[in-house]
Structure 1
Amino acid sequence: MSLPNAHFADAANEITYRNGARPMHDYLLLNAKEAPDQAAYIFYGREVPWRELADSTRRLAGFLREKGIGKGDHVGLYLQNCPQYVIAHYAIQMLGAVITPLNPQYKTAEVEYQLDNAEAKAVICGTDLYPMVEAVRDKLSQLKLVITTRYADYLPGLPTLSVPDDLTQAPATPENTFDLVSAIDETQPINEPEPVDFDNDIALMTFTSGTTGRPKGAMLPVGAATFKTAALFQSNGLEQGSTSLAIAPFCHIAGMCLGVYAGVYGRWTTIILPRFDPETTVQALEKYKVDMWYSIAPMNRAILSLPNVQSRDLSSLRFNPATSFGIPVTESLAEEWKALTGCQMHEASYGLSETHTMDTYMPRDAIVWGSCGRPMPGNDIRIVDIETGKEQPPGQSGEIAVGNPYVFKGYWQRPDATNETLKNGWVFTGDVGHFDQNGYLFFTGRIKEMIKCSGYSVFPEDVEALMLNHPAIAQSAAIGVPDENRGETVKLFVVLKPDYDGKVSEHDIIDWAKDNMAAYKYPRYVEFRDSLPATGAGKVLRRLLKDE
C-alpha cells in the first residue's frame, strides 16, 4: 500500500526564492552582473571572482557544445573539490546536459561501472584520476570525450594555506584528452544557456544504492537544486554575503548542496578545501573569517583535540550544521564546540539522494538532540506503517516517506527499483523513524538492516548509540546473525579506544550491554576490530560485515 497521489504544487509556493524559480546557473550569471569583482571561490588563496567564474563556465559550455555534447547527454564529473569542479558542473547544466558525479576515491572497476551504467558521452576528470578512466576507456563504447585538468592550474603563486603535495603536481595533459584550461581559453562563450523545463528536465544523475542493491542513477530535475537551496536559506534565516568553508566532497549530494549551490544562490564567498586536515581547516576559519561551515562530526572532534586550540580565534563562525558519521552530534560535543567558537553546532538534516537531501532542518533556537529536526518548508514527510501502509500518528514508528514537487524522477533504466521506491509522487526511503508531538523527526534505522530478535524489532543504530556510552568503545557496528531460538541475535563489532586495548574482554562488553539495555536487544556476540569498513564520508558499511 502507499500514500494517496501527492499534490505538491502548493508546497512549492511556500518557498520564497531570492530571484525566482530558475535554474541555479541563472543565479551564477546574475551574480556576475551584480557583483562581478566579488570573490566567488577561493582555492588556497587563488580568488575566482563571479565575472571569471561565469565567463569560464560559458566558455567551457561552448567547448562541450563544439564537441557534440547537448541537451540530455550524460557527462561524468570525476574531480576532487576545486574551482574546476564548479565551472564544469555549471557548464554541463547550461547545455541542458546531465551531470553524473563520481567519487574521487573510486577505483577502476567503480569508474567503469558508473560511466557504463550512465552511458556517459563525456567525462571531466583530474589528471590524478585519469589513469582509472584510461584503464577502462576501451570498454566504454558511449564515451567519446575526455577532458582533464590539473589542480595546480588554479593554485596561487603564494598560497595562503598549506597545500597538499599532490595538488601541486602539474603533469602534461594525457594523450587523447583535452585540457580544461586550454579549452576555456580557446573557445568563445555561449550566448545563452539552453532553455530547460524547470520541473521536468533532468539536471543531475547521482548514483546511490537507494534502499538496496548496487548503485543506481537517481534522476533529479532542474528545479530540485534551487528548491532545496531556497528552503535551506528560508528555514535557517541565511542571508547573502556570508563566507563559507566547503570541505565535504562536491560529488556527494550534501557537499554539492552546501559547496556548489548555496554559495551561488546566496552570492557567498566559498573557501574550497579538497580534504579535511584539522590544522589547515583552523587556518582557513581564522584567515577568512568563515561564518558558515557544514562539517562532519569527527572533523569538529579532531579540531577540539588540536594542541593549544583554545588560543585560536574561531569566533567568526555562526552557522555550523554537522552530520553524524562515525560519531554522533551530541549535546556534549556541541557544548564543547560552542565553548571554543561561540557557535551553536547542531545536527545538519535528514535527507537522501532521491530527494536532493536537506529534507529537514534543525531550528537553532529549539534544538532537540537526537532528532533530525523538522520538515523543510515545502517538504512533506509522513510515517507509514511498514506492513499496512497506513499513516502513523506521532510517537508511532514506520517507514519514512518524503514528498515535494522536485523529488527524483526515477532510477536510470531501472523501472523495477523505481516502482519500489517512488509511489504516487512519494519517495519511500527504506528508513524507519517517527515524529514526536512537536513535529521533530527521529531516525531509528533501515528496514533492510532491521534485526528481528524474539519477535522484537532491533535497529543497529539504536544498539550502536547505546554502546557509545561504554567508556572503552570508540566505534561499533551491530548486525543480525541467525539464532535457532530467537530468529536473529545481535552481533557487535567493536573498535576500542587505544587506552583500553587489551584491558577489556568480549564478555565485559556483553555484560555491560546486558545491564544497560533491554534483554531482547543486547548483543550476544562481540568481535574486536582495529577498524570498521566505511564509505568515504565515514558511514559504516554494515552489509560488508554481514557478508562476511
Structure 2
Amino acid sequence: MALGVEGRNITEIRPEEINRVWLKFYDEWVRDSLEYPEVPLYALLENTAKEKPDATAVVFFGKEITFRELDEASNRLAAFLKELGVKKGDGVMLALPNIPHYIISYYAVLKAGGKVVQANPIYTERELRHIADNSEARIAIIFEPVYKNIQGLMKEGRIDHIIVCRVEEYLSFPLNFLYRFKKEKVSIPKEKGIYEWREALSREELKEREEINPKEDVAVFQYTGGTTGLPKAAMLTHYNLVANVYQTVEWIPGRGKGDVFLGVLPYFHVFGMTTSMNAPIAVGGKIILLPDPRDIKRIIQAIDKYKVTIFCGVPTLFNAILNHPDLKKHDLTSLKACISGAAPLPIELKRAFEKETGAKLIEGYGLSETSPVTHGNPFYGLNKEGSIGIPFPDTYSVVIDEEGKILPVGEVGELAIYGPQVMKGYYKMEEETKKTLVNGWLLTGDMAKMDEDGYFYIVDRKKDVIIAGGYNIYPREVEEVLYEHPAVLECAVIGVPDKYRGETVKAFIVLKEEYKGKVDEKEIEKFCRERLAAYKVPRLIEFVDELPKSAVGKILRRVLREKEMKKTE
C-alpha cells in the first residue's frame, strides 16, 4: 500500500500528508496519537512520588528504596548543586553505572535547572576531557573508580567540583560491610572541590524550581558512539524525553502498570535511560537495578527471584542468557515483554529465546538522536521477523534516495524519521545538525526499506555497506545466515580492502564452547554458499574468542575495521 507521497522530497511535504499504512497493525490498546504533557522531565518522578510515595521504586541487591525516598534525596542533592553554583542550563557530568546514585543524581540535576551530561564510567581521561570541554560541565558526579581518570581534569581546571559515589552507600548490612573490605582501594584525597555523597545529601530539600520551557530547554546531552571522529552531543529536550516515555509505555502490554522492570541496560546509554529508568518511574513500576550487564548469572537469578516482567536489552545479552549453563536452574516464565534494540536481532535468537522463556521478544529501533525509540514490532499483532517493526504513535518514517526523494515500497534508501522525540540538534555543531535535520526530519544514516504493510527493515548502516566488485553487500544479511549455523555463538561481518574487488567480505566468528576445534573455515564457507549468492559469501573467516562491544553490548564493527586497516599499513 502506498504512502501517497512517493517521489516527493522531504523538504516539500508535511508529515500529516503521509498515509500511515502501518496503523492497522497496532496492538489493540495502542493509540495512533497521544497527548504529551509539556512538563519538565523531573515531573515523572515527582508525580509518582505523590501518587504512591511508599511503593518500592528500586531494589538494589536486596535493599528497597521508595519513590518518596528517591524524590526527597534528589531534592536534597539539587539544593547542594545549587550551592555549588549550578544555574539554569548548566551541564553536570554523570559518570556512574546503574547504582541508586545515578537515578537520584539524574533527577537532581534536572530539578536544579541543569542538564545531564552522560558519560560512560569506564571512559579514559582523554574521553572524559572531550566531554567536559564540549559540554562545559564544571561539576561531575562520579563512581569511585572514575577518580583516577578525572583527577587530571581537576588539576587542569576543567572540572571544579566532584561528588564521589560509593556502592556500599546503598547496600544493606552485611553486604555494605563486606564490600568495603573486598573492593579495590581507590585513594581519593580530602581536598577542596571533592565531596562525599553523604555531604551532598545533607542539605534541606530544594523547594524552588527554575522555570523550564520543555520544548526548548535541553534536559540531556546524549553522546553518540563517535563512529566518525569524536562523539557528538545530541541535545534532547525535556519534551523529547517525556514524549518518548509516553510512546514507549503506550507500546507495552498493560502500559507498564504493576510491572517489574529489569534495570540492567546502562542508564548512561539512551536506551536504558528511557526504557528501563524513566518509563518505569513514570508508571510507578519497580526497577530491579543491576550495575553489571555482563553478570549473566546474577541477571538470571534476579529475573527468577523478583519475577521480572519487562526486560529491555540488546541481542548479545539475550544470547548470553540463552547460552548460560545456569539457565535451566531458574524460572524465567514471569517475563512477558522483552524489547531488543541497539543492534539487529538475529531471527534464530528471537525464536530460541521465545521458545525457552515463553516471553514475547520483539525487535525495535531507535537512536541517541530520537530519545531513542522510534519503531517496534507489535507484541501480539503482526510480528515480522527481521523487521524493526512499525513507527511508534505520532512518529512518521520514510525511505529516501540521496536527493531526499521518498522511495516506493521495497526500494533501499536512507531511513528518515519525524516525531516529537527527535532531538533539537548537535551541540556546537551547526553544519552537522543541518546535514542531519532536514525540515524536521532526522536522517538516520541507516539503509532501510519498507514493505507494503509499512514494516521497516534495516538493511545496514550506510557506512557499513560493503562494495565488492560493484555489488552492494549488507553485513547484516550475511550475519543472519551465520547465526543459523548451530556452532555460531556470535559473529560480525565487515568489508576489508581487496586489490581486485575493491572490498571483500570478512567474517569474525565466536564459536560455542562445544564446537571449538570441531568446526573450520571450510565448513562455514560451504554453509554460506548454500544460502547466499556467491559474491556475498565471506572470503575470509577468522575465529576469535570474543568480539569488541560497546558498553551496552553492541558489537562494534568499527573496531574490527580499524584493526584490519592497521594490518595493511
Q: TM-score, normalised by structure 1?
A: 0.91
CA contact (8 A) 1:125 1:149 kept: yes
Unmatched tracts of structure 2, length 5 or more: 1-7, 19-30
Matching residue within 302, 319, 327 for 2:320: 302
Would you say 1:475 and 2:490 are equivalent positions? yes
Matching residue within 147, 163, 174 for 1:147: 163
- How many correspondences in the alignment? 539
Matching residue within 203, 207, 214 for 1:198: 214
Q: How does 1:507-526 map to 2 (within 5 A)?
A: 507-526=522-541
Matching residue within 69, 81, 84 for 1:67: 84
Q: How does 1:158-173 map to 2 (within 5 A)?
A: none
Q: Which moved more, 1:146-155 or 1:307-316?
A: 307-316
Residue identity in the other structure for 2:204: Q
Residue identity in the other structure for 2:232: K
Give the SS at the match of 1:465.
helix
C-alpha deviations, 1:267-315, integer Å up to 9, x for none? 1111111013233223322332222121233333433444564453333
CA distance in 1, matches of 2:71, 2:277: 14
- Structure 1 pair 411–308 and aligned structure 2 pair: CA distance change class (3 A): closer
Would you say 1:285 and 2:303 are equivalent positions? yes
CA contact (8 A) 1:479 1:492 kept: yes
CA distance in 2, matches of 1:262, 1:49: 16
Superposition deviation, residue 169 in structure 1:
7.6
Q: Which moved more, 1:253-262 or 1:21-30?
A: 21-30
Would you say 1:229 and 2:226 are equivalent positions? no
Residue identity in the other structure for 1:483: D
CA distance in 1, matches of 2:12, 2:156: 42
CA contact (8 A) 1:152 1:170 kept: no
Would you say 1:85 and 2:102 are equivalent positions? yes
CA distance in 2, matches of 1:5, 1:174: 60
Q: Which moved more, 1:473-482 or 1:498-507?
A: 498-507
CA contact (8 A) 1:535 1:541 kept: yes
Q: Which moved more, 1:21-30 or 1:207-216?
A: 207-216
Partner of 1:50: 67
Matching residue within 360, 369, 374 for 2:375: 360
Superposition deviation, residue 510 in structure 1:
3.3
CA distance in 1, matches of 2:480, 2:181: 38
Matching residue within 334, 338, 342 for 2:358: 342
- Structure 1 pair 535–408 and aligned structure 2 pair: CA distance change class (3 A): same
Partner of 1:369: 385
CA distance in 2, matches of 1:303, 1:479: 26
CA contact (8 A) 2:400 2:416 kept: yes
Residue identity in the other structure for 1:292: I
CA distance in 2, matches of 1:538, 1:53: 28
- Structure 1 pair 294–458 and aligned structure 2 pair: CA distance change class (3 A): same
Matching residue within 213, 216, 222 for 2:232: 216
CA contact (8 A) 2:154 2:160 kept: no
- Structure 1 pair 247–55 and aligned structure 2 pair: CA distance change class (3 A): same
CA contact (8 A) 2:115 2:218 kept: yes
CA contact (8 A) 1:173 1:179 kept: no
CA contact (8 A) 2:362 2:378 kept: no
Residue identity in the other structure for 1:231: Q
Would you say 1:541 and 2:556 are equivalent positions? yes
Give the SS at the match of 1:40.
strand
Alpha-carbon RMSD across the aligned residues, in angstroms, is 2.8
CA distance in 1, matches of 2:247, 2:179: 34
Matching residue within 37, 51, 57 for 1:40: 57
Partner of 1:440: 455
- Structure 1 pair 476–244 and aligned structure 2 pair: CA distance change class (3 A): closer
Residue identity in the other structure for 1:520: Y
CA distance in 1, matches of 2:474, 2:102: 38
CA distance in 2, matches of 1:205, 1:269: 26
Give the SS at the match of 1:196.
coil
Residue identity in the other structure for 1:317: L
Superposition deviation, residue 336 in structure 1:
4.1
Matching residue within 100, 105, 117 for 2:117: 100
CA distance in 2, matches of 1:508, 1:337: 26
Partner of 2:147: 130
C-alpha deviations, 1:314-364, integer Å up to 9, x for none? 332222212375x8343x5445444443322222x1110011111112201
CA distance in 2, matches of 1:96, 1:210: 28
CA contact (8 A) 2:487 2:515 kept: yes
- Structure 1 pair 188–545 and aligned structure 2 pair: CA distance change class (3 A): same
Partner of 2:396: 380
Partner of 2:262: 245
CA distance in 2, matches of 1:458, 1:310: 39
Q: Which moved more, 1:90-99 or 1:313-322?
A: 313-322
Give the SS at the match of 2:279.
helix
C-alpha deviations, 1:395-440, integer Å up to 9, x for none? 1111011111341122111122212211121111110011111111
CA distance in 2, matches of 1:84, 1:479: 39
- Structure 1 pair 500–243 and aligned structure 2 pair: CA distance change class (3 A): closer
Residue identity in the other structure for 1:40: A
- Structure 1 pair 329–454 and aligned structure 2 pair: CA distance change class (3 A): closer
Unmatched tracts of structure 1, length 5 or more: none
CA distance in 2, matches of 1:519, 1:224: 45
C-alpha deviations, 1:3-46, integer Å up to 9, x for none? 126756999x964358x332221121112222111111111122
CA distance in 1, matches of 2:515, 2:306: 40
Residue identity in the other structure for 1:313: D
CA distance in 2, matches of 1:232, 1:130: 35
Residue identity in the other structure for 1:76: M
Give the SS at the match of 2:510.
strand
Partner of 2:473: 458
Give the SS at the match of 2:491.
strand
- Structure 1 pair 413–171 and aligned structure 2 pair: CA distance change class (3 A): same
Give the SS at the match of 2:366.
coil
Give the SS at the match of 1:516.
coil
CA contact (8 A) 2:337 2:379 kept: no
CA distance in 2, matches of 1:416, 1:527: 40
Partner of 1:157: 173
Give the SS at the match of 1:495.
strand
User: Percentage identity across aligned positions?
Assistant: 34
CA contact (8 A) 1:199 1:222 kept: yes
CA contact (8 A) 1:44 1:163 kept: no
Superposition deviation, residue 508 in structure 1:
4.2
Q: Which moved more, 1:420-429 or 1:281-290?
A: 281-290
Would you say 1:312 and 2:327 are equivalent positions? no
